[in-house]
Structure 1
Amino acid sequence: MATISRPAYVLSAILVFAILTFILLPNFNAEPPSLGTQAKKGRKEYTAPKQNVFAELTAKEAEDVNEFLFEDLAHLNLTKTPKSNRDNFVFYLETLRPNKTDALAYLHGSSEPPQRWAKAILSEYRDDGPYMAHYMVSLPITSKSKTLPLTYVFNSGSNAVRIPTLDFDGLFGVGQSIAANISDITLELLGAEINLEKPEAPDGLLCWPRPAGIERGGQVMWFQIFKPGIASGARTLLPQGIYAKVDANSLFAEEWTVEEYYYNGQLYDTADDFRAAIKKSDFVRAPRNDDGPWTATEDFDSQPDGRELPPPVSVQPYGPRYKLDRKQQFVSWFGFEFFITTAQATGVSLFDVKFKGERVVYELGLQEALSHYAGDDPVQGGLEFLDTFLGMGKLMFELIPGYDCPAYADFLDVQWHQLYETNTLPNSICLFEYTSDSLLSRHTAQYSVTTSRNTYLTLRSTSTVGNYDYTVEYIFYLDGTLEVKVRASGFIFGAFYSANSSKTEDLYGHHVNEGLASSMHDHVINFKADMDVAGTANDMVRLAIEPMTKSYPWDLPEIKQRNTMRLVEYPVTEETFLDWPRNGGEMYIVYNSEEKNSWGERKGYRVVPGTGIASPPHLTIENSTTLGDGARWAEHDLWVLRRKDTEPRSADPLNYFNPHDPIIDFTKMANHESLQHGEEDDDYDGDLTLYLNVGSHHVPHSGDIPNTLMHTSASSVMFIPHNFLDRDASRESVQGVRLQLKGNGASGGFPGDIGDTRPGGDDDDDDNNEDLKARLRRRRRATALDKERRPEAKYFGATYEEGMKLGVEEFEPVLPQQYRSYENRVTDLGFNGSAAGVWFK
């Protein structure tokens, strides 16, 4: 086995960015960004009815907590300038969100907000190595403040997770050393070698470890060589097919050794064995996978017919119809009300979502984003990502007005606190109203036609996690429907296309370029939906649509039995999973246990697959050897659990470090407890939490080169009112028109029109004692008048009637002036993108 020597050069700060950069915090006191100027014209100041008790720490709060921890945890000898994982330091801070029981007491009753706490994650060096440990600190900081181990939100029995290596910053050096030691081989087979002075040189190579769940306690890693692809950013399209297995049993990278090499279906015990094999006449070389125009995502030169003209866009000339309190991050729109908050690991979450004054969802937010691959090489064969480990909130970069969101959208900044600094991500969330190209409803009667526009509100963010951009949307519809939707775009994580005789990569994907194959993988993205349908006392039922044969007395004697169908309700009586039913043969409904509408029906919300390309999937791989117990929530579509303050999440970013004994084990949460409230010796009150998955079974094909497209990768779940109100709520707020066609006014006329025979119409007068002949004469007169008049239209809701002048920036924003991001980080998918070198600046 070869000992790995570390090259003597300074590690790049960009490539060794941050180990567990998880928590992201909004700037509630920031000035509004200079985007969506037209949308702000004439806007009245709006104030939320309550304080946002879920708001992330302000910069001042974070500063106070950092200073307090140095005093209160003096025995740890914390440092503000860590040099390695041997130092103890405060890694990041965020808000510890209040328990639901306390938050509801304030939001729907008490005048005093709940006690505010900060969560502090510290890097601690202990006798057996480095740990990441969680603490809670009471706010505001006073002489009475205290620091406690944060344990109650984890079911592992500990507030800390051991880091499997002391030297994550050394991973980059190890990879470069591997490539340098076989530079003659890489030059022979790949036509390139490592550039130790400029490791990201476009004509050089890089060597990275497989960023998968750490097996055998993190003691074995496979490294793969890539070309930088720095010009296009297409590194994950440029694997080079040479792999090295490293024994990483030691905490110290300089003690790691290379165990074997792999190339084109063959294993070699040493580099010399590899060199000797190349010289043999029967050695088979794989095609090279070189960068080129094929990885470029843009074509600036082509001009097919029509490209010389800009496409249609949406405008908002009269300003927004929603109300936004920027300081409290509170939104109100046509009956919907909700708070916004963010976290570095998981991005945007919503709290206290109400419709028509009644709470529907207490909490709706991302928990984890998993991608799990399959393949025939040492990297693809065990590749998986848990993206909150990389920080889906911290990687919410600035949105582009006019492209990511309409030019008139409101854009919100986000902050996060790490290593004693507050960082701002400008314009990383957008809020806007939009009108679909399809109607909400329409109907044509004999003499009239009615149409209603489908207008909805969208809250959107995009997280760039290495090779993928995930766009997360919360969409609100006028009828009370709420949708959570995820779209993906970006470069696939490709596999090297070998030239060996077995060609087993054909089992896992397609040949998509000269030296590149695609790798099938599952995207399973988990969301928490703490349902509170008209209150916390809820029941979950499966309302099945089933065939049956039944005899009806009115059919006899002609038909003895009729084949038909019926509804059968199956209560969900214990914590369990549900998969989307075959043929859509069941409805999953969350009912309020006590509240009913005017017709005696229980108030409910139905949970259904949304507007994506297919039913959202769950993980195909069974009992993943890589994931262990780190993501059991991914094995089914939907989970129904008791809500508990001690189970606020289905996953934790630190599960990545120890998936076989995770700090949050979902199997301990979904443990078949009873969901039947009101039973003796049980204090369960009916408060349900759903954990549901969106995503896709992704089999990349040639159309995914160079980028996967968002419209073919969208997936969503919708929450739809089910007897929640007495009628369709959108009737009150929708915009539309009723067009009265030329013809008999007795059919489909407007209330009060001559000839209107509907209740309340002109012919429905209880005090009118006209005889039949008089009524017929009135009808004939009305018909004659109807033949003479032209079709009429009546609008419900406002119409555009005043002239307006819009600047060109409302159609095409001047991006060099309006796009103000200063972020220039390069995200990667190795430990260096999340777990290494946090002490480097």
Structure 2
Amino acid sequence: MSGLSYSPGEGKMSGKREFYCAQLFGALLFIVGLVAGLLIGIYVYHGGIDTEVICKNIPENIVSDGGEQTTSETPRDDVCHTCERRQARMNWTGEDPEIFAPLTSEEMSKVRGFLLTEQYIDDKPTGGLKSNYLRSMILSPPEKEAVRKYKAGTGPYPGRYVEAHVVRGKLPQPDYMQYKIGPVNKDTMTVQQLYADGELDYNSRPYDGIEISLYHVMLKEDFNILEALTKESFDGAFYSDENSDFSIFFFNGPPGVKSNERETRFSAYFNPYGNEAEYIPLDVLPLSGSIHCPGTDTSEWYVYNYYYLNQGPFQNASALMEAYNNGSLRKISLQNGHRQTVRDRSLPDRDTGVPFRHNSNIPPPRTYEPEGPRYTIKGHNVDWMGWNFDVTTSYLRGPGLFEITFQNNNIAYEISLNEIAVVYGSGSSGQTNIIYADSMYGIGGVVGNVRDVDCPEHATMLETTHWDEFSHSHILSRSICVYEADGENALWRHRGYAFEGGLRNNFLVVRLSSTVGNYDYIIEWHFTLDGKIFTIVSASGYIQGTFWDDNNPFMGDEKTRDSFGYRVNLNTRGPIHDHMIGFKVDLDILGTENTMEVIHWKTGDVMSALKSQVGSVSEVPAYFLINNTRYIEYEEVERETGYRINMEEPKFWIVKNENERNEWGVQRGYEIKPISTASQTLTDAHPAMPALSFSKYHCAVTKRKESEQFMTSTTDTHRLNQPVGYFEKQLNNEYIKNTDIVNWVTVGFLHVPTSEDVPMTARVESGFMLKPFNFFDKTPVFDIQAYLDTRTGWKTERPPKYKPCAEKGLE
């Protein structure tokens, strides 16, 4: 005996406690194990490291190792591995910096520091308009000859230069100056002034935040006078420069017609996001005016030409208010609560008033890369399936491609977006005769991709940098995406009696999406396996609406439309407009000595067809059944000129190398082929046409010059009477046969907005194709494994067999 007492009841209680604890511990252990098992299962299912998973993307028909098809009535549940996700992008490792890459943040900082040190700009534009400040920076295109010599090993590195645009308000005679600065890859830089002092008038400069902030201050006093009018007319709305119930839009370009004028037209509109930097012009209000604002002396500025419901002009706010109060004006009064509906009508979210579309809750199809990307990117140089090129972008002009080769053959030196012009027709005050050239506002400025929308998850993103004039700093974004797409159709195919075969259409995509005000532009290139290049530009975003007035005196009996468009929303007209998109296409077909040829597609009598080639023909051969035939005529273009599409007189535009022939003795070339486009309907008498003269031609050809980099100047739509960089003057009849030529290709679309464009315009597109034209000896895809079956089995071929895999989890 140990001398310890023992109670039987006490032992029973202790046993029960131990039993319950064991049960609880076991339950907890089971739960922990279950959760851990689920987590591990989920991890494995989504592709854990070195872990096999059950594939859910295996088709019912797949190719086995022996080249035969295996089929099953239900999808296979084979075990497979996770997809390879190797990085296609590598850092640039060249001895010299990339020639065409977008400006880097470091380069921009260096140039700004240089301009500060040399006193070209002020540290901060505290003097407002009377300051010298940096408006924008872009990469200055290197000289082509220098690039070619450098790449051939016969010349030095051409250097990287920056084109800086500076507002010079501090000068006795202010102006807008552009400088070439560099090389930024060297410690010592120089500056070259690109225009004479005063050549670019100060009043033709682009708008910026400094000027816009002054407008707000000026309007505050006027809108205090108009308070009763705006509250009674616009559902109690009042405007101030700090916390407004509605916003003011100042970009109804141009600000006058003459270069020494500056008359800014403004319009009121309901912004669903208050004073945030967002422009959604669906709820434009019938109140507008103008600001006389030339020069830097704001004491001489004034607001005038007020319109209310298209009634006016009134010299000032007091005159408008007097007319409003004395009953001489027709009035409008939006219903109570109207302002609370603006955001719901403007935001492109799901319509909660209707049920989900059937099966829309099921994820849509997607593509993936079973063994990783088939392209490689070094810096901004892209290599894919025989294609090689450099991709870049410019804040003002947008994206471009350089030094494009296919199977080691020179195809083009440059294919780049150059300009987007938009001209409106509108009967609303403040918004009549709107003319935009978007390079002034920065086609490549407001960039960035919408997740899961602009590019697939497996795309490789390339960074871009631009100078932001509002924050006076550089902004970095990953805006260019590169990926290989599955066309899900045949590049070529034939199914006959003796054999069947084909090649699936895969192509490489290079895409940049940008926002210019209310419109979004998507610019992309598709490179195909057979040597074609598709250039495609699409538009989406918000239309720039005008106020719909049911009692418009210029409206006919049909009260849903007028001369300028349809009613598309509660109080919104969709004004008609166009989008004319210009590209620089510098083809170098196997070298720089090229000739443009126009092939005319004709129908006529047989004698005319034969005489077009042999003028001495005197008799029609008897084997022609009828005296009418199709035929083509060949015209080698000797002088600079421009062409417009006429569907009744079809033409083929060919750029060829007269000194290079294929196996059959035919001169090798590429065809420029519009896919879809519209025509410019403005006549030469229109004041905007000199500045927008590029839009007259679907395809023009000029001799290449370093002094003719662009089809427009970024200031010309603000100086319509004195454009400095307009395209028409480049067509000066120079001899261009067998030399370095450039084609300027313009495509676009005419837009009559309809109710389907509200709240958001679904994608509309235009573009052109560059197509091999006797460039190869035969279809250039038979170095790729395709699908081929013969009836008797004497010949079979299969594309590379893929091993099904599961995508790794994405960030």
Matches of 2:462 and 2:505 in 1, distance apart?
Answer: 25
Determine the structure 2 residue equivalent to 1:581.
646
Aligned length: 699
- The offset of 1:438, in angstroms, is 2.4
Please give the per-residue CA displacement for 1:36-73, whole angstroms capped at 9, x wherever unaligned. x96642769697889632234444443443333344x3
Q: 1:671 aligns with which of 722, 732, 738?
A: 732
Please give the per-residue CA displacement for 1:555-582, whole angstroms capped at 9, x wherever unaligned. 9768675311111012222111111231
- The offset of 1:452, in angstroms, is 1.5
Determine the structure 2 residue equivalent to 1:174.
218
Residues 89 and 242 of structure 1, relative CA distance in 2, 3 Å threshold? closer
Determine the structure 2 residue equivalent to 1:34.
none
Amino acid at match of 2:267: Q
Matches of 1:421 and 1:240 in 2, distance apart?
Answer: 32
Question: Is the CA contact 1:213–1:659 (under 8 Å) kept in the aligned structure 2?
Answer: no
Instruction: Select between 479-488 and 445-454 the one with higher mean Cα deviation.
Output: 445-454
Output aligned runs, 1:427-826, within 5 Å.
Answer: 427-498=478-549, 499-503=551-555, 506-550=562-606, 561-583=626-648, 585-610=650-675, 615-623=676-684, 625=686, 627=688, 629-677=690-738, 686-710=739-763, 713-733=764-784, 736-741=786-791, 745=792, 750-751=794-795, 794-795=797-798, 797-800=799-802, 802-807=803-808, 809=809, 813=810, 818=811
Residues 43 and 582 of structure 1, relative CA distance in 2, 3 Å threshold? closer
Residues 39 and 523 of structure 1, relative CA distance in 2, 3 Å threshold? farther
Residues 104 and 38 of structure 1, relative CA distance in 2, 3 Å threshold? farther
Residues 79 and 687 of structure 1, relative CA distance in 2, 3 Å threshold? same
Amino acid at match of 1:533: I
Determine the structure 2 residue equivalent to 1:258.
303
Instruction: Select between 37-46 and 89-98 the one with higher mean Cα deviation.
Output: 37-46
Question: Is the CA contact 1:210–1:223 (under 8 Å) kept in the aligned structure 2?
Answer: yes
Does residue 240 (structure 1) correspond to residue 285 (structure 2)? The answer is yes
Q: 1:305 aligns with which of 358, 364, 370?
A: 358
- The offset of 1:170, in angstroms, is 1.1
- The offset of 1:370, in angstroms, is 1.1
Residues 255 and 424 of structure 1, relative CA distance in 2, 3 Å threshold? closer
Does residue 62 (structure 1) correspond to residue 72 (structure 2)? The answer is no
Question: Is the CA contact 2:203–2:295 (under 8 Å) kept in the aligned structure 1?
Answer: no
Once superposed, what is the RMSD of the aligned Cα atoms?
3.1
Q: Any idea what SS the aligned residue of 1:429 has?
A: strand
Q: Any idea what SS the aligned residue of 1:237 has?
A: coil
- The offset of 1:254, in angstroms, is 4.3
Amino acid at match of 1:582: M
Residues 39 and 627 of structure 1, relative CA distance in 2, 3 Å threshold? farther
Residues 606 and 276 of structure 1, relative CA distance in 2, 3 Å threshold? same
Question: Is the CA contact 2:640–2:703 (under 8 Å) kept in the aligned structure 1?
Answer: yes
Determine the structure 1 residue equivalent to 2:61.
none
- The offset of 1:168, in angstroms, is 4.7
Question: Is the CA contact 2:492–2:502 (under 8 Å) kept in the aligned structure 1?
Answer: yes
Residues 524 and 287 of structure 1, relative CA distance in 2, 3 Å threshold? farther
Determine the structure 2 residue equivalent to 1:120.
164
Does residue 395 (structure 1) correspond to residue 397 (structure 2)? The answer is no
Unpaired segments ≥5 residues, structure 2:
1-81, 611-617
Matches of 2:327 and 2:169 in 1, distance apart?
Answer: 53
Determine the structure 2 residue equivalent to 1:404.
454
Matches of 2:211 and 2:475 in 1, distance apart?
Answer: 29
Determine the structure 1 residue equivalent to 2:144.
100
Matches of 1:234 and 1:87 in 2, distance apart?
Answer: 28
Question: Is the CA contact 1:192–1:204 (under 8 Å) kept in the aligned structure 2?
Answer: no
- The offset of 1:178, in angstroms, is 3.6
- Give the TM-score, by structure 2 length: 0.80
Matches of 1:536 and 1:234 in 2, distance apart?
Answer: 45
Question: Is the CA contact 1:237–1:492 (under 8 Å) kept in the aligned structure 2?
Answer: yes
- The offset of 1:433, in angstroms, is 0.3
Determine the structure 1 residue equivalent to 2:67.
none
- The offset of 1:502, in angstroms, is 1.9
Q: 2:271 aligns with which of 209, 212, 228?
A: 228
Q: Any idea what SS the aligned residue of 1:382 has?
A: coil
Does residue 133 (structure 1) correspond to residue 177 (structure 2)? The answer is yes
- Give the TM-score, by structure 1 length: 0.77
Matches of 1:44 and 1:141 in 2, distance apart?
Answer: 23
Residues 63 and 515 of structure 1, relative CA distance in 2, 3 Å threshold? closer
Amino acid at match of 1:240: L
Instruction: Select between 526-535 and 87-96 the one with higher mean Cα deviation.
Output: 87-96
Please give the per-residue CA displacement for 1:132-154, whole angstroms capped at 9, x wherever unaligned. 21222332576764322235xxx
Q: Any idea what SS the aligned residue of 1:660 has?
A: coil
Question: Is the CA contact 1:572–1:675 (under 8 Å) kept in the aligned structure 2?
Answer: yes
Does residue 211 (structure 1) correspond to residue 257 (structure 2)? The answer is no
Instruction: Select between 139-148 and 435-444 the one with higher mean Cα deviation.
Output: 139-148
Please give the per-residue CA displacement for 1:237-265, whole angstroms capped at 9, x wherever unaligned. 01111122333356434433333322334
Determine the structure 2 residue equivalent to 1:833.
none
Unpaired segments ≥5 residues, structure 1:
1-36, 678-685, 752-792, 819-841
Residues 236 and 96 of structure 1, relative CA distance in 2, 3 Å threshold? same
Residues 626 and 222 of structure 1, relative CA distance in 2, 3 Å threshold? farther
Residues 59 and 671 of structure 1, relative CA distance in 2, 3 Å threshold? same
Matches of 2:760 and 2:151 in 1, distance apart?
Answer: 45
Matches of 1:268 and 1:80 in 2, distance apart?
Answer: 39
Residues 798 and 199 of structure 1, relative CA distance in 2, 3 Å threshold? same
Matches of 2:87 and 2:524 in 1, distance apart?
Answer: 27
Amino acid at match of 1:384: I
Q: Any idea what SS the aligned residue of 2:374 has?
A: coil
Q: Any idea what SS the aligned residue of 1:562 has?
A: coil
Matches of 1:250 and 1:186 in 2, distance apart?
Answer: 31
Residues 729 and 239 of structure 1, relative CA distance in 2, 3 Å threshold? same
Q: Any idea what SS the aligned residue of 1:95 has?
A: strand
Question: Is the CA contact 1:399–1:428 (under 8 Å) kept in the aligned structure 2?
Answer: no
Instruction: Select between 441-450 and 106-115 the one with higher mean Cα deviation.
Output: 106-115
Residues 687 and 476 of structure 1, relative CA distance in 2, 3 Å threshold? same
Matches of 1:351 and 1:67 in 2, distance apart?
Answer: 29
Amino acid at match of 1:53: I
Please give the per-residue CA displacement for 1:355-402, whole angstroms capped at 9, x wherever unaligned. 1111111011111111110111233322122212221222112342x3
- The offset of 1:111, in angstroms, is 6.0
Question: Is the CA contact 2:134–2:167 (under 8 Å) kept in the aligned structure 1?
Answer: yes
Question: Is the CA contact 1:242–1:263 (under 8 Å) kept in the aligned structure 2?
Answer: yes
Percent identity (aligned): 23
Residues 701 and 589 of structure 1, relative CA distance in 2, 3 Å threshold? same
Amino acid at match of 1:600: G
Amino acid at match of 1:449: E
Residues 369 and 96 of structure 1, relative CA distance in 2, 3 Å threshold? same
Q: Any idea what SS the aligned residue of 2:581 has?
A: strand
Q: 2:240 aligns with which of 196, 211, 214?
A: 196
